[in-house]
């Protein structure tokens, strides 16, 4: 059984976790995660903050070489990557398969 995170699991939360899991060893800027389909600024940044508070991600400020404002970068911790994977798998296991397919994807055989 997966230990539930201290925040609610919504499709937006799962979207952020999946985006981070797509390259767990790489740091991501918040704006890059905001581009994830279905996420908006507020949802993505709120979820990232919650993930940080839960110990799933670490953050740091990155200075811009060309005098732009500093940017915050996010990276899954080692434990956070394992927990995020478990959370996503558990979330998806509990949903009917047809709900998980994106509107522009054709459903898999036997899911309708």
Q: How far is CA 82 from CA 5, 78, 103, in A?
A: 13, 7, 28
Domain tally, the chain: 1
Does a structural domain hold residue 6?
no
Closest Cα to residue 10, out of 42, 55, 32? Answer: 42
37 vs 100 pLDDT, higher one: 37
For the segment 27-56, the average pLDDT, to the nearest whole number, is: 81
d(CA 99, CA 107): 9
Does a structural domain hold residue 111?
no
How much of the chain, in percent, has pLDDT values that exceed 90? 23
Does a structural domain hold residue 39?
yes
pLDDT given for residue 95 in this prediction? 74
Residue 57 has phi, psi (to 5 degrees) of -125, 155
Q: Which domain holds residue 64?
A: 11-97
Answer yes or no: is pLDDT of 74 > 90: yes
Closest Cα to residue 50, out of 74, 25, 71? Answer: 74
Does pTM top 0.85 for this prediction? no
pLDDT given for residue 10 in this prediction? 79
Q: Which residues contact 112 (CB under 8 A, 6 or more apart)?
A: 98
d(CA 8, CA 83): 15
Q: Which of 38-42, 78-82, 91-95, 96-100 has the lowest mean pLDDT?
A: 96-100
């Amino acid at each position: 059984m997966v230990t539930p995170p201290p925040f609610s699991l919504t499709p937006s939360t799962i979207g952020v976790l999946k985006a981070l899991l797509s390259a767990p060893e790489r740091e991501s800027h918040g704006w890059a995660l905001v581009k994830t389909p279905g996420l908006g600024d507020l949802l993505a940044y709120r979820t990232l903050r919650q993930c940080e508070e839960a110990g799933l991600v670490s953050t740091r400020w990155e200075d811009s070489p060309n005098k732009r404002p500093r940017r915050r970068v996010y990276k899954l911790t080692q434990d956070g990557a394992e927990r995020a994977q478990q959370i996503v798998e558990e979330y998806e296991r509990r949903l009917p398969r047809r709900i998980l397919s994106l509107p522009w994807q054709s459903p898999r055989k036997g899911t309708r």
